[in-house]
Homo-oligomer: A and B are copies of this chain.
Amino acid sequence: MCRWLAYSGNPLQLETVLFNAKHSLIDQSLHSRLGHTTTNGDGFGIGWYGHPTDIPFRYRCIQPAWSDRNLREAARAIHAPMFVAHVRAATDTPSQETNCHPFRHGRWLFAHNGLVRNYPAVRRDLMVAIAPELFPSIEGSTDSEVLFFLALTFGLELAPVTALERMVAFVEETGRRHGVDEPLNMTVCATDGEQIVAARYSSERQSRSLFHNTSFRHLHELYPDDPRIAMAGQDAFLVLSEPLADLPGWWQEIPESTVMVARGGEIEQFPFEPQVA
């Protein structure tokens, strides 16, 4: 179980949402309210974009986010128009940098909260389905990284929503073949620096929580004097496991079995439906 957030908008200093917000992501690493586990202390990662069309940067570490001093420096140093941050609560896989999110391939970053149930039973079948040319890039041992490489195999770079739906169908089909009733639980985020795709889905239709901000345009009107809102541009988009602060009207829950796509200030929401490839 983990917590993550993704931002796109005018360049924002990372510490704004990682440290300074009331119920910031780092605060969530120690005291999650909505998570399945309250402590997310098994490492963390941030990924950010300089120029949207370049390979994004990462900083990942197995220290708890709350005690890592380099993260505090990085969050102060980095201003970015798009970034992803993740705090990890390991299920059964080791606490190591290559198991920390976000995962990266080319311009794409990927973060996940949830799990593949009975992963040891299905791991081999899932890995074998990864495209052979992607296989050498697998570095860690988590289910999350394998979900990412499966999504890439199913076309994430070309049609991200469809690729995620195919990936989920494949994981569910594989799990059921191995006798797993509810094979997958996930909220995921995939981004290439130009768009953020965020999905909330689980086989049991009781997915981990996921929220996004309501329109900042609307918020600017609602709270004209709040500096936290003034700081964000009109088109800022934030999607995250748990709300950062308690202003009424600020956050909206993403419904069960739904995918959101944010690109160039436009946000759209679709039903998320597993598709057999």
Contacts and interface: CB of A to CB of B under 8 A. Distances in A.
A76 to B, nearest CB: 7
A227 B135 CA distance: 37
Number of copies: 4
A90 interface: yes
Contacts of A1: none
Interface of A: 30, 38-39, 41-42, 50, 57-64, 67, 69-70, 73-74, 76-78, 90, 93-98, 119-121, 123-124, 127-128, 132, 135-136, 138-141
Contacts of A73: 57-59
A45 to B, nearest CB: 10
Given A57-B77, A61-B70, A90-B67, A124 B136 contact: yes
A42 B57 contact: no
Contacts of A136: 119-121, 123-124
B120 A124 contact: no
